[in-house]
Amino acid sequence: MREKGEILVEVKDMCKNFGVTVALNHVDMAIRRGEVRGLIGENGSGKSTVSSIIAGIQQATSGEMFYKGQPWKPASNLEASRSGIGMIVQEAGTIDSISVAENIFLGNYGQFKKGPVMNRAKMNAEAKKALEKIGVTHINPALPARMYDMQERKLIEIARTMYSDPDVFVVDETTTALSQSGRELLYRLMHHAAAENRAVIFISHDLEELMEHCDTLTVLRDGVIIDNIEREDFEAGDIKRKMVGREIKGNYYRVDNDGYSGETVLKAECITTMNALLCFSLELHKGEILGIGGLSECGMHELGKALYGLEEVVDGRVLLPGSGTVIKNAKTAFRNKMGYVSKNRDTESLELEASVAANIQSTGLDKNRSFGLFLSFKKEKKYAQLQVDSLAIKCVNMLQPVKALSGGNKQKVVFGKWIADDADILILDCPTRGVDIGVKAAMYQLIYEMKKKGKSIIMISEEMPELIGMSDRLLVLKDGKVNGEFLRKDGYHQNELIECMI
Ligand SMILES: Nc1ncnc2c1ncn2[C@@H]1O[C@H](COP(=O)(O)OP(=O)(O)OP(=O)(O)O)[C@@H](O)[C@H]1O
């Protein structure tokens, strides 16, 4: 166990309101040097809010903060980072249109300027060093950030934050955007910071990960701190109970072994994409939950996109054998009763400015017409309300813009919109990303109910327990190819999957 030092950051009696929403309710917290402090709580419990106030991203409604013993009231994120508090935010934190190097030194270009002239070569060289410092060598600082995928953009953010060796390193729900190797890299950086007598605030919904890497866990519920638990007292059942205020049963995956029909509903016939897949074939059956797993770079996310017509298939085809329809774009997929939940919810699945209701209703316009013609307000309302209730989407009301929701609640909106649509084929890419354990259980139940209704589901995931827990059949991908196939009826172990992945 690590020795903790003096108090580095202190939050006293902090409140934060957003209109009628009370996000933080008289919160007290003291983070010491040398500790990794985990924050855990249901979606919308206030974890991001308190951390982002410490990191200057937003201001508290009332209360005080102290940093290194002095009153602390940063006016901006930039001021906080210049004073040694850096945060990796949950959502995308890079700007697509500017270069990797510009992202890394955003707000700090002065050091590379001589008068009005920017020394780009110097900036790129320094950005390269910043990336190397966290162990990343494959990202080119001169290229625009948009050239990189979600995980690489997270690495760029990590390099930006770690460049100045922050005294307080805040990591908000970042690991779900990273592959295993990215996660290991982040854990190393966190432990290194703590060993150097700095401090880490670590937010995650993965209890195992939190219990493994944190010294203390702070449990939040509805903006209130329920408990601070020291490492020697960590006990999973107790933590879950404190999080949700009731007992959470351990097993929330399906328990049956019911199998699926022999009818093929979707086929990938030797498909090749620009980057990830080379002559890849797959068959999905009616009533089947087909799990797709592997390391993040194995091609599984590209596969999901290609099956839904979002990634160009340069050779081969994606086919609905029943009708003979070839899926060439998302419009055709949608018209043929397919749905797709993207891993990258903010940019690919949500209209952030639009309301919760409008986002959920966006897939169901035809279902909510009266006499097949006019949109029925009543029908639309009921349609959206059902999802808000069954997934416990935490919002003031359904007209609240999605951008005001916590990360996990946004994910519930994406999931809800496709569940509501009642698609026949659903492609889910990391559907439970950033979602708390209580709602995960509800999502698994909804997925299972779809299967029971004869719907077919592809579930792409980096979480092995959910793949094993839910799939009828599981394909493990490596380098864009199937490297192992596992059947629920035969039973298998996690270790066999890992062997196929690496
Ligand atoms: N800009 C905003 N406008 C209105 N309400 C907001 C805003 N930001 C956060 N909230 C609300 O504050 C509450 C706390 O949100 P916060 O993001 O801190 O939760 P969280 O614990 O980090 O959740 P998650 O696990 O889903 O990320 C939620 O009810 C959320 O809807």
User: Which pLDDT does position 375 carry in this prediction?
Assistant: 57
Instruction: Identify the residue whose C-alpha is closest to ligand 1 atom 4.
Output: 404
Q: Is residue 16 scored above 90 in pLDDT?
A: yes
Position 386 in a domain: yes
Position 257 in a domain: no
Position 266 in a domain: no
Average pLDDT over residues 92-119: 87
Spatial CB neighbours of 125, under 8 Å, sequence gap ≥ 6: none
Position 70 in a domain: yes
Q: How many CB atoms lie within 10 A of CB 20?
A: 7
Average pLDDT over residues 182-186: 91
What is the separation of C-alpha 383 from the centre of its chain, rounded to a whole number of angstroms? Answer: 26
Position 267 in a domain: no
Position 269 in a domain: no
CA 392 to ligand 1 center in whole angstroms: 14
Instruction: Identify the residue whose C-alpha is closest to ligand 1 atom 5.
Output: 404
Owning domain of residue 97: 7-244
Verify that 225 and 294 share a domain, yes or no: no
Q: Which of 275, 343, 346, 262 is nearest to 308 (CA)?
A: 343
Work out the mean pLDDT of the chain and round it to a whole number. Answer: 90
Q: Which of 223, 244, 265 is the last residue of a domain?
A: 244
Position 179 in a domain: yes
Verify that 115 and 205 share a domain, yes or no: yes
pLDDT digits (tens, 9 = 90+) for 358-377: 999 887 666 655 555 565 66
Verify that 306 and 450 share a domain, yes or no: yes
Question: Cα separation of 364 and 377, whole Å?
Answer: 12
Verify that 13 and 159 share a domain, yes or no: yes
Report the domain count for the chain.
2
Verify that 195 and 83 share a domain, yes or no: yes
Verify that 200 and 294 share a domain, yes or no: no
User: Which pLDDT does position 331 carry in this prediction?
Assistant: 93
Q: Is residue 225 scored above 90 in pLDDT?
A: yes
Verify that 352 and 441 share a domain, yes or no: yes
Position 482 in a domain: yes
The CB of 406 under 6 Å from ligand 1? The reply is yes
**Probe residue for ligand 1, chosen from 14, 21, 409, 415 as the CB with the greatest number of ligand atoms within 8 Å:** 21
Domain containing 368 — which CATH number?
3.40.50.300
Whole-number percent of the chain with pLDDT over 90: 65
Verify that 239 and 373 share a domain, yes or no: no
Verify that 300 and 216 share a domain, yes or no: no
Q: Which of 33, 31, 295 is nearest to 183 (CA)?
A: 295
Q: Is residue 65 scored above 90 in pLDDT?
A: yes
The CB of 405 under 6 Å from ligand 1? The reply is yes
**What's the whole-model pTM score?**
0.81
Verify that 238 and 362 share a domain, yes or no: no
Q: Which of 185, 218, 244 is the last residue of a domain?
A: 244
Verify that 294 and 436 share a domain, yes or no: yes
Tokens of 170: 């805040």
Q: Which of 189, 221, 244 is the last residue of a domain?
A: 244
User: Which pLDDT does position 407 carry in this prediction?
Assistant: 87
The CB of 440 under 6 Å from ligand 1? The reply is no
Question: Are the C-beta atoms of residues 203 and 38 closer than 8 Å to each other?
Answer: yes
Give the DSSP H/E element, type plus range, for residue 71. Answer: strand 70-71
3-state secondary structure of 173: coil
pLDDT digits (tens, 9 = 90+) for 230-275: 999 999 989 988 988 766 665 678 888 899 999 999 999 999 998 8
pLDDT digits (tens, 9 = 90+) for 28-54: 999 999 999 999 999 899 999 999 999
Verify that 236 and 375 share a domain, yes or no: no
